């Protein structure tokens, strides 16, 4: 788990933004293929989801279970954050 994954798990939007501003990869995958966006969507943190998307997180990356972050985002009702996606 990277610091960015950890910040997403802790729902720490400020830390996510700081890490991204210092060059963290928003699409890095952990040992299960989850991106920080998968984690933020699963923890129901709209602010974190939005921050990751604004910084280029790809909602279409699949984890090892075949789940896309976009599916979790829609399931959790964060559809509005997707309006800021470049994907």
**For residues 14-38, average pLDDT:** 98
pLDDT of 83: 67
The answer to whether 62 and 72 have CB atoms below 8 angstroms apart is no
**CATH number, domain with residue 72:** 1.25.40.20
Query: pLDDT per residue over 28-83, tens digit each?
Result: 999 999 999 999 998 888 899 999 999 999 999 999 999 999 998 888 776 666 66
Q: For residue 27, what are the domain limits?
A: 3-84
The answer to whether 26 and 40 have CB atoms below 8 angstroms apart is no
Indicate the burial class of 32 (C-beta count within 10 angstroms; 0-12, 13-18, 19 or more). exposed
Query: At residue 25, does pLDDT exceed 70?
Result: yes
Query: At residue 85, does pLDDT exceed 70?
Result: no
Count of the separate structural domains present in the chain: 1
pLDDT of 87: 60
Closest of 34, 64, 31 to residue 8, by C-alpha: 34
pLDDT of 81: 64
pTM for this model (two decimals): 0.89
Query: Which tokens sit at 50?
Result: 């939005």
């Amino acid at each position: 788990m990277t610091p960015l994954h950890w910040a997403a798990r802790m729902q720490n939007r400020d830390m996510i933004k700081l890490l991204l501003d210092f060059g963290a990869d928003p699409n890095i995958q952990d040992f299960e293929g989850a991106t920080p966006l998968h984690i933020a969507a699963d923890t129901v943190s709209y602010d974190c989801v939005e921050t990751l998307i604004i910084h280029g997180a790809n909602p279409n990356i699949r984890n090892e279970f075949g789940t896309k972050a976009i599916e979790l985002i829609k399931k959790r009702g964060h559809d509005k954050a997707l309006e800021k996606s470049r994907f």
